[in-house]
């Protein structure tokens, strides 16, 4: 299926990271105009989409700051979709997890997703033409995994938020979905797990393709889905 985003505006949080960059590249190849909120402006030599005429990077934006997120979305033109890739990861058994560690995961993953969803709904709803929201949960959020209690809980919140908003926004034709990746094939993950079978991990382009479809106007019916993107892992 050929995705068509011509003249459609899409936000991608975490758009300068590994998965976010793959999403941005696919969206601009499909004709989208993309806005990326970032902690700091990326080096164009390391992030080529920064040079693209249809990519707008706004920095600094702290996605855990309510006022900053409100200001970012309020300053945007009409919005079709918002894709929420930004987040973080931490692994530790519960006895090694402090309350500060737990709160950090909730803030980085769940709170940022909540704020961006809320402001995206406000912006998309103002157009009265429907739209799309795509979140990024994680396999440990739905499949019990030892040693990831704080991270898994924060991503489980993302998954539940996705399903709740799907019902709340159906009448406005704003489809809300989430992808649920397992360990993705990134340089960082390869370095952290050098003995793993990388061939079983989903590729960034594969996860990005799923996100792009869910965010596209070609997705005419899917909402409230937690879409596994596990590859063979």
Q: Which helix (H) or strand (E) covers residue 11, if one does?
A: strand 9-13
- Give per-residue pLDDT as tens, 166-194: 999 999 999 999 999 999 989 989 998 99
- Give per-residue pLDDT as tens, 49-83: 999 999 999 999 999 999 999 999 999 999 999 99
Determine which one of 80, 151, 201, 213 is catalytic: 151
All structural domains of the chain, each given as residue ranges with its CATH number in brackets, are 9-228 (3.40.50.720)
What stretches of the chain show up as alpha helix (H) in DSSP?
Answer: 18-29, 66-74, 99-105, 112-125, 139-142, 149-169, 187-192, 204-215
Write out residues in the chain with pLDDT < 50, as ranges: none
Q: Is 73 a catalytic residue?
A: no
Give the pTM.
0.96
* Cα distances (angstroms) measured from residue 111 to each of 63, 157, 177, 188, 191: 8, 9, 17, 24, 29
């Amino acid at each position: 299926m050929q995705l068509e985003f011509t003249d459609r505006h899409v936000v991608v949080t975490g758009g300068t990271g590994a998965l976010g960059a793959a999403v941005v590249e696919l969206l601009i190849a499909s004709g989208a105009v993309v806005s990326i909120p970032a902690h700091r402006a990326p080096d164009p030599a390391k992030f080529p989409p920064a040079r693209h005429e249809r990519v707008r990077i706004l920095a600094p934006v702290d996605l855990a700051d309510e006022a900053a997120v409100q200001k970012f979305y309020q300053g945007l033109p009409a919005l079709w979709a918002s894709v929420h890739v930004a987040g973080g990861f931490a692994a530790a058994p519960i006895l090694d997890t402090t309350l500060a560690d737990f709160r950090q995961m909730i803030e980085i993953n769940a709170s940022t997703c909540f704020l961006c969803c809320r402001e995206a709904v406000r912006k998309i709803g103002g157009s009265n033409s429907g739209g799309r929201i795509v979140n990024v949960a994680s396999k440990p959020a739905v499949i019990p995994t030892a040693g990831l209690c704080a991270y898994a809980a924060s991503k489980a919140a993302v998954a539940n938020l996705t399903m709740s908003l799907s019902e709340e926004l159906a009448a406005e034709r704003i489809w809300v979905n989430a992808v649920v990746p397992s360990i993705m094939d990134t340089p960082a993950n390869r370095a952290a797990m050098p003995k793993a079978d990388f061939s079983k991990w989903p590729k960034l382009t594969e996860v990005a393709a799923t996100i792009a479809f869910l965010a596209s106007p070609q997705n005419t019916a899917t909402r409230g889905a937690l879409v596994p993107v596990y590859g063979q892992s």
